[in-house]
Each structure stands twice: as C-alpha cells, then as structure tokens.
Amino acid sequence: MLRKLLTVKMGGMGAEMADRVLVTGVSGFIGGHLAAELLRRGYSVRGSVRSPSRIGEVHTAMAAAGVEPADLDICRLDLLSDQGWAEAAAGCRYVLHVASPFVLEKPKDPYTLIRPATEGATRAVGAALDAGAERVVMTSALATMQFARTPKGHICTDSDWTDPDDPRLNAYTVSKVRAERAARELAQRRGAQDRLAVVNPGAVIGPLLTDDPGTSVTAIQQIMSGALPMVPDLRLPWVDVRDVADVHIAAMSSAHAGGRRTIIATDPMSLIEVAGVIRERLPQASHKLPKRAMPTWFTWLASAFEPQLRDNRWLIGQKQRFDRTPAETLLGHPLRPVPDAIEETGRSLAERRLI
C-alpha cells in the first residue's frame, strides 16, 4: 500500500510516520466514506464523534468499507464546546471538518441548527490553524450557492452566494451559509485564506456503510418503500459519496483548492426519473415504486400544506445547472454517472432491508 509519508528528524536520523488527518463527524455518511478512503490510501486517521454511543457504529462502517476499524483513532468532540479540539487537531497535517447538525423536521428555533453549525466551523478552523495544519477542508453545501438570485439560465459557480437573510430560506440552508462565511472570515482574519478549502456537495447518495441512510439517501428510500405513491416535482443535483470523499482528499493538498469553494454536483434529476432508473436496473426491488409525478402546479399547491415541500419550493420544477469543472479537475476524471450512483444506493437499501 502506498503511504503518505512525513519525515521527522529525530536525533539526527530520519523517522517516517504516516500523515495524520482529523475527520470530524466520522459517524456520518460522508465522514465514514472519507475516513475509510483515507485509511485505504495509507493515512493515519483520527475521527471525531459527538457521543461515545456512535463508536460501535463507526467500527461497523469501517468493516463494511473493507478497512480495519482498529486503525481509526476515535475522539469525542462537540460543536458547541471548546473541550478537546486542540488535542484532536494536534499533530494533524490536515483537518477535514465534515460534522454539521442536521434535522429532517423543521426546528422551532432555527438557531438550534445555526449556532452549532457556525460555532463548530470556527472551532474546527481555529483548532486546525492553531495546530499548524497545512490545510483545513470544510464540508459546506451546494445550498450556499444555488439559492442566489440569478437570471434564468444562469450556471451556478463558486462566486454565487445564497443570501442568508432571504426570508424564504429554511434553517438548514441559513446554517450552511453562515457556517461557511464564518469559517472564511476566520481564515481571512488569520491571514490563512489559502489554508482553507471548501467543498460544496449537492444531494449525496451512494452505497451505505451502516443502516443509517443519511439525509439525501432518505429521499430514495421513501421512493422505494412506497411512502410516496405520487412523487413531487423536485429535481435534485445528485452526486456519489465516493466522489465527494475523493474531492475532499484532493483538496487537502491541491494548490487549486486553497481559498476556493468547489462545487461537486450534477445537473438535477427529478424524483420520477430516479424511480425510472431503479425500475430499469433493480426490477426485483421496484414493486413499490411510484409511477406518476405530481404536476408542477400541484406540487406548488401541496407545498402550502407540507413543510418539507414548502422549505424546498425553489427546487420545484427547476432545471438548474452547476459548474462542476473545478471538482472534475481535482479528481482528474468526470464525476460518476448519476444512474450508477442511484443503482448502488437502491441496491444497498434493498440488501440492508431498509425499504
């Protein structure tokens, strides 16, 4: 196995040790795939969880990914507490801040999302810079760009910013915008803009490492389980979790990523098109799939009564486009085809009996 090596002088002799990487939120969907890929590439990985109760789940995920769970050092970090951050970042050449709060139900107080996202981002960046990390890579979201007010036909790029004060935004989107801005402002104040790279993924899907389907995979789970007999006209920018992990790793050392935001998303595919892919490729798991999509006008009408639709009104019937060239440049190849990612997601859900 190739090793990423850092040479340290000890008593006049060269001693080699694997580069250490801190991955926050290692129990999450992206964090788990990212930690596993880093271990496969020979990095020394320290992963954080919010609660010790998630450690067993992390070990299960690493085993499912085909890596040795014992090779992952796990620590406890809380986005709302200073405790442990300095120790976790110590000795790490890179810090990948993936952890972020997310709830499917709309919170009564939006700051239950905004505060931990923002404070966690500044804690992660501050600890990384204090520890001398060469690069901190932050997982943000496409939502920090895609809801900017732009003309029809606009291709979304890294220069677009969603306005966090727009009253139509849900708490999750506001939390991602404010967290990303807070991280960038801190790096700028410290004169370390080039030491921060931001990755902005769309709707992340792909093979599961645990029985927790994650956020975007839940949409496919609902389609396959019959929970949506008629699907709303929502079109999402799907992306494979393994590409997301690879972009994070590439952004650790690439000069092209320093100080930049990198979109990793595809042009949106509707939920009924997703159902069509599953029906064609996984016929044995297709008996509960919806056959009809809500007309756009009916989806708009339903959004007046359904909170999740109301929070995503900007995605109803939309055909947005995104500049994924920087991500593909970092990867050195095109993103995985979305139908392949959908197929593997559906297969994973079926094999785990989650539908």
Positions annotated as catalytic residues are 176
Asked whether the beta carbons of 170 and 144 are under 8 A apart, the reply is no
Per-residue H/E/C for 157-210: CCCCCCCCCCCCCCHHHHHHHHHHHHHHHHHHHCCCHHHEEEEEECEEECCCCC
- Can you tell me the distance from the alpha carbon of 355 to that of 353, in angstroms, rounded to the nearest whole number? 6
What phi and psi values does residue 124 have, to the nearest 5 degrees?
A: -65, -45
Query: How far out from the chain centre does Cα 122 lie?
Result: 18
Asked whether the beta carbons of 142 and 201 are under 8 A apart, the reply is yes
Selection from 181, 195, 112, 170 nearest residue 140 by Cα: 181
- Can you tell me the distance from the alpha carbon of 311 to that of 93, in angstroms, rounded to the nearest whole number? 39
Residue 285 DSSP label: G
What phi and psi values does residue 204 have, to the nearest 5 degrees?
A: -90, 125
The structure tokens listed for 36 are: 């596993």
Selection from 160, 158, 164, 166 nearest residue 148 by Cα: 160
Asked whether the beta carbons of 311 and 170 are under 8 A apart, the reply is yes
The structure tokens listed for 198 are: 């931001």
Instruction: Give the number of other CB atoms < 10 A from CB of residue 128.
Output: 28
- Can you tell me the distance from the alpha carbon of 218 to that of 208, in angstroms, rounded to the nearest whole number? 11
- Contacts of 66 by beta carbon, 8 Å cutoff, 6+ apart: 36, 40
Structure-derived torsion over alpha carbons of residues 118, 183, 335, 228, reported in degrees to the nearest 10: 10
Alpha-carbon Rg for the chain in angstroms:
20
